[in-house]
Structure 1
Amino acid sequence: MAGPEQDPGGVVALARALIRCPSVTPDDGCGINALAAVLEGIGFSVTLLPFGEGTARTPNLFARLGTGQPHLCFAGHTDVVPVGDAAWTHDPFGGEIHDGILFGRGACDMKGGIAAFVAAVRLYLQKTPRPRGTISLLITGDEEGPATNGTVRVLEWMQANGQIPDFCLVGEPTNPGEMGEVVKIGRRGSLNARITVQGMQGHVAYPHRADNPIHRLLALLGELTAAPLDTGSEWFEPSSLQVTSLDVGNTANNVIPARAQARLNIRFNDLHTGADLAGWIRTVVARHAPRADVSIAISGESFLTSPDAPVEALRRAVHAVTGHVPKLDTGGGTSDARFISRYCPVAEFGLVGASMHKVDEHVALADLKQLTAIYSGFLEKVMG
């Protein structure tokens, strides 16, 4: 049996236990309940918060230790993406360890991160049995899915019950290649649009008797993509509009189709809002195709957390363990931090994400131990 030096705070054992819960979204696979039992054993008061109905019902939990300020919350998710069709070398839900590497779906995204934070709390409580302030966890089973009955709903509950923290740390894998490279203090917003241009079907030999929707669609897409949206801002790279699909469904060579559809995504920085971009898209579409149908969904606005005391404390904790001063970054995709940012300052730091969502997802045990030490140091700096 591994001693405390081999498994500080029990991080490896807990990571393996969580991986062995096959929590492929939306199925919890015992993940939330297993974590709840561990947290109660440490002394947390745990509230299970399932939201939704039927197959959309999502398991979540909120756990709290202590009272008063400061209130530091750790946020994460136990759900994982499917294992995929390709063959794994190791059982995706076996929690196998080979040559210092822990394999399994969720190893780095992000059951390993959850295990590291829980282990860090254990280590912190050994040094400070009666800490001041509050430590809490917001854990959802709906981050990899539609994200409708997970963190969003838990935050609403937290606000209604006076549980909003002073600062939140999200344990998503933020490091590209090695521990200590990146702390995320913001994310770009994301907008998805579906444009369906209605035309008039006809024979290609008699185009004057038809209205070709493809020509209209290409013209409006040409205008939308003609120039960059911006050149970036202080903390953000330039916004990006990408056409993701063009669909006509025409199987005939001599027929002008009745409709054509395109889909696009915009990842936008803090120079824009989702509403402004949606209005711009609708204006351009109306200019080229007045009868077009436009459907727009904004999955999150851009946000930026000021790099003040808690962020600096996190950077110092990272530097103390890894020797690296992490870059402050806002790149990448979206995460549940976009919801948390509406309520309190939030930053993200976790494991190396190179294998997330891939076959044979894995994490080095050394990285798990480093992350535990970083989180423990961060707790000491913030909580005192």
Structure 2
Amino acid sequence: MFYNIIHNHLIKYPIPINIKYTWSFGSLAGIIFSVQLITGFLLSMHYDPNINAAFDSVEHIVRDIYGGYLLRYFHANGASMFFIVLYIHMARGLYYGSYVGKKGRYKLWASGVIIYLLVMATAFLGYVLPWGQMSYWGATVITNLMSVIPFVGHDVVEWLWGGFSVSNPTLNRFYSLHFGLPFAVAALIIIHLYLLHLVGSSNVLSVLSKRSKITFHPYATLKDVFSFFAFFILFSFFVFFSPDALGHPDNYIEANPMVTPPHIVPEWYFLPFYGILRSIPNKVAGVIAMFFSILILLVFPIFYMSNKKNFSNYYYIFSKFFFWFFVMTFFVLMWVGSKPPEDPYILVGQVFTFFYFIFFIIKVFIDYILWIFMKIHLLQFIILVIFLIMILSIEKGYMV
């Protein structure tokens, strides 16, 4: 049975002949996720989830445990590597319209977004565990966002804390959730792969013909292996030569509830959404905008449900332009999120928050216009344009 699963769904699994190396990032995400599971499990054997011992236990792992520094830095930098791969994987799906087309594609896309949400939650919980200054105050700021929930907001915050502030019960709960959530992510990854094999892999040209497909092995496996080794070089650079480059120096200071850092920032992969949150002066509106900036990834593909055409940006220059403008917007918001909440960063954040949301509206609009053009025969469209030009010329002549 196991051999049949491997043979049918891996070795002989049909894939489009024209997929690129960017399709390897899905497999790469699975490999890095496995690394995170293994290193996290080994770290849990030495970590002490107590506010009086958590910080020292992390130092003990790095300094006293044989190979402990490798476990710690592989796990800490692995989170950043995982998000790099996830963002590229999602950007590829957004660029080539993987969320629309054959029946079941929206379910595939939605399962991926849910995985992303759970991974974000898991990463946030893990960031709190070292119990440094940024861990403590990051937990305080982010959990306080729940206070905007009408009527029960403050009760929810105290329930999350297990008291009246971030303390030992909070750390214990976050540790348990950080350990348990990856198993939910693993289950969703299996569902994601199942849905992928139901609808088949997308491709650059949106070609779905069975004649244009090849087997996964050896063609895709060679690309995946090459991508893995190329990415592992980048991963190894951060682990061995610059293990703290993607972290915050304040997290090497033990958590102190009596001293607030001058500038509280989350990890880099949360910065775009943090930038949206701080760009809006009203707390409730900022929290709503931040959460909707993520949930919009689930909402906007619904407008394509009645259309089975796959809108790959490969064909359309306007869609390409707006996509790369969206990528620039994402990085600008990341930069804004890393800066203090003051002018001109607030103004820049507000402008690019507007661009972030308007992208999805413009994308749906442009894709539907293109879909209408494709429904009209090219010759008929040219005749229509000539006819309109003639009418405008005649009217202009009468006016003269």
| TM class, shorter-length | under 0.3
TM-score, normalised to structure 2, is: 0.18
TM-score, normalised to structure 1, is: 0.19
